[in-house]
Structure 1
Amino acid sequence: MTTLSRIRIGSAPDSWGVWFPDDPRQVDWRRFLDEVAASGYEWIELGPYGYLPTDPVQLAEETGSRGLKVSAGTVFAGLHRGPGVWESTWEHVSSVAALAQASGAGHLVLIPSFWRDDKTGAVLEDRELSAEQWRTLAAGTERLAREVRDRYGLRTVVHPHADTHVDTEEHVTRLLDATDPDLVSLCLDTGHYAYCGGDSVRLIETYGERIGYLHLKQVDPAVLAQVHAEDLPFGPAVGRGVMCEPPAGVPALEPVLQAAQSLDVDLFAIVEQDMYPCEPDRPQPIARRTREFLRSCGA
């Protein structure tokens, strides 16, 4: 077994069933911090802005007292919609980026907006972007990445995501080919990429220089087949258990981690098992087992 010396393992509020800044079905943020530290993780993400304390001093005290460090903040943005959404987008992005910077993080995870409602499945936009929208998306992503880098010193990593316009191999590679490698990198989420038919190992081998960050998750192939057959939105699919505990699903994570290690760069690999909503006692045992599994892979 190869020791994955370049891979830094962490977890995120997502693995505790947290999708929103405030929701009665989610665990309290103090409990999340206690349990993620107790489960053997050193690194965390901020999760939805407002879930963890947004005061940098308080956040530093709460994470530091538990031996935790922040790797990234996360934002959603509909940059394909053009300059008209820039101001509202930047208002949110700047808040998250400022907190991430103050927390010592080096990355901002950028997720494209959904083309259908994550809960109801109502179609909000066409599933496919036009050529002009692709050009707008690429230009907007570069602009955001440049501003985030210049103002906050963070690296922007785009996160392909189910039910967004950047999901399949075709769409992911189209965005990568259309953007400046010095500005835009990829947050490869192994679960979302498999959900949309992609091969994570092949993507790492082909676009290795663009891989800037990893999210580790797996999908249950049987549930995924049902999801595709019924054309379920992502939210209900998660409720049905499409994202499963490693190593029960796909893709196999050890080959992904080995491929990432071979890039010979330092990479965060953040565990994200979508489980919203879930019983409050469910996440920690899974988190512990997942950490042990990743240790068995050399991480």
Structure 2
Amino acid sequence: MAIKTGIAPDSWGVWFPEHEKQPQWWRCLDEMKVAGYEGCEIGPWGYMPNEDPKVLKHALEARGLTLVGATEGGNYLDDVNVEQMLKDIDDIAALLKHFPSAKYIVLLPPMYTNLETGELEMNPELTEEEWAKYCANVQKCADRCAEHGLEGLFHPHVDSHVQTEAQIDRFLQDTTVNLCFDTGHHVYGGGEPISYYKKHADRIPYIHLKDCDLAVKAKMDENKWSFAKAVTEDIMVEPGKGSIDFAVFHQALVDAGYDGWCVVEQDLFPVKSFDVPLEKAAAGRENLRKAGF
């Protein structure tokens, strides 16, 4: 059994393929290595170089980093958007076939609130018909991943239609899609990640390590902040600095025989300074090391 620890570009404030408030991809990879991580994801499709796999392969090998997977997201209630997601999955898979270590594509759902303003953009409650369509389209995306020999994993998310434990339970019941289990998003949604992992360990082959500061979450709810605003107020903190006991979580993984990657994903967009992510990533790595990772 081996638990390996990686990190995602999200921890450098990377939410988009390109944005002036995000560091360049090579700086991100440099600092992942300096902070002490073994592997990484490629972040939003288009952030890392993807036209020639030899470029990315050389960049990762030069830094001793293992590529673990990629992400793709969209609105599962919009058939046109789902078709675009399927095309992206094909393109991502074409790149990942050059990296045998990269087995996963994380499937992200849409938020029903506006990222910047916090205003509702979708009804938080789905009808039975909408729920069936949502699940069917996630399943379609996961099945497309499987056609390429990859596993598409659904990622429950802040302010999405699958974020509470009851919603996740229902999703697991209505699909065969396994989870990318994000500990911070789980806390944000009112759940308890350690007991939930124990309950569904057989459906969780891949984990995002994230910590949530519940005091900031309370302020967010009181002031009706958007998620982007809450991120600038440090709602998601380095693992070990928030509400989760990662030593206990690590023991739960050991007890379940977890064999795979745990990838740190600390929401930071927009970073106050490009010097911030490395400091936080290194602190989070040290906290996780003390917890057994």
- Under a length normalisation based on structure 1, what TM-score does the superposition of the two structures give? 0.92
Tell me the equivalent position of 1:255. 248
Is the Cα contact below 8 Å between 2:116 and 2:229 reproduced in 1? yes
CA contact (8 A) 2:75 2:82 kept: no
Within the candidate set 192, 202, 207, 1:199 is matched to 192
Deviation at 1:84, TM superposition (A): 4.3
User: C-alpha displacement at 1:32, in angstroms?
Assistant: 0.8
1:241 aligns with 2:234: yes
Aligned partner of 2:69 in structure 1 is 72
Q: Does 1:59 align with 2:59?
A: no
Contact 2:240 2:288 (8 Å CA) reproduced: no
What corresponds to 2:43 in structure 1?
Answer: 47
Partner residue, 1:110: 107
Per the TM alignment, residue 231 of structure 1 is displaced from its structure 2 partner at its CA by 3.1
Alignment partner of 1:286 out of 280, 284, 287: 280
Question: Aligned residue pairs: how many?
Answer: 290
* Local SS of the residue matching 2:125: coil
Q: Does residue 5 of structure 2 align to residue 12 of structure 1? A: no
Tell me which residue corresponds to 2:265.
Answer: 272
Do the aligned partners of 1:59 and 1:103 also contact (CA within 8 Å) in 2? no
- Residue aligned with 1:225, SS: helix
What letter corresponds to residue 281 of structure 2 in structure 1?
A
Flag as ranges the 4+ runs of structure 1 deviating above 6 A.
none
- Is the CA contact 2:89–2:144 (under 8 Å) kept in the aligned structure 1? no
Correspondence 1:26 to 2:19: no
Quote the RMSD (CA, aligned, Å).
Answer: 1.5
Unaligned runs of 5+ in 1: none
Report which stretch shifted further, 94-103 or 35-44. 94-103
Kept in 2: contact 1:10–1:268 (CA 8 A) = yes
Q: Tell me the equivalent position of 2:213.
A: 220
**Mapped partners of 1:232, 1:27: distance in 2:** 25
1:298 aligns with 2:254: no
Task: Give the conservation status (yes or no) of the 8 Å contact 1:46–1:52.
Answer: yes
Question: Does the residue aligned with 1:255 lie in a helix, a strand or coil?
Answer: helix
CA contact (8 A) 1:101 1:154 kept: no
How far, CA to CA, are the matches of 2:99 and 2:159 in structure 1? 30
- Unmatched segments (≥5 aa) in structure 2: none
DSSP 3-state at the match of 2:77? helix
Residue 119 of structure 2, aligned match among 117, 122, 141:
122
SS at match of 2:178: strand
Encode CA deviations 1:62-82: one digit per residue, 9 max, x unaligned.
Answer: 11111111111001122234x
In structure 2, distance between residues paired with 1:234 and 1:99 = 31
Kindly indicate whether residue 116 of structure 2 is the aligned counterpart of residue 94 of structure 1: no
The separation in 2 between residues aligned to 1:80 and 1:253, in whole angstroms, is 35
Q: Per-residue deviation at 1:191?
A: 0.5
**CA shift digits 1:125-174 (9 cap, x unpaired):** 10111111111122222222112111x21111111110111111111111
Please state how far the C-alpha of 1:100 moved relative to its aligned partner.
2.8
Distance 1:135 1:6 in 2: 37
Give 2:225's aligned residue: 232
**Mapped contact 1:216–1:253 kept (Cα < 8 A):** no
Query: Aligned partner of 1:96: which letter?
Result: I
Which amino acid is 2:124 matched to?
R
- SS for the counterpart of 2:91 is helix
Contact 2:206/2:261, CA 8 A, preserved across alignment: yes
Comparing 232-241 with 84-93, which one deviates more in the overlay?
84-93
Q: For 2:175, which of 173, 176, 179 is the aligned residue?
A: 179
Which residues of 2 match residues 132-151 of structure 1 at below 5 A?
Answer: 132-150=129-147
Q: What TM-score do the two structures reach when normalised by structure 2?
A: 0.94
Q: 2:118 touches 2:224 (CA, 8 Å); kept in 1?
A: no
Do the aligned partners of 1:73 and 1:97 also contact (CA within 8 Å) in 2? no
| Contact residue 14 and residue 43 of structure 2 kept, 8 A | yes
| CA-CA distance at 1:293 after TM superposition | 1.7
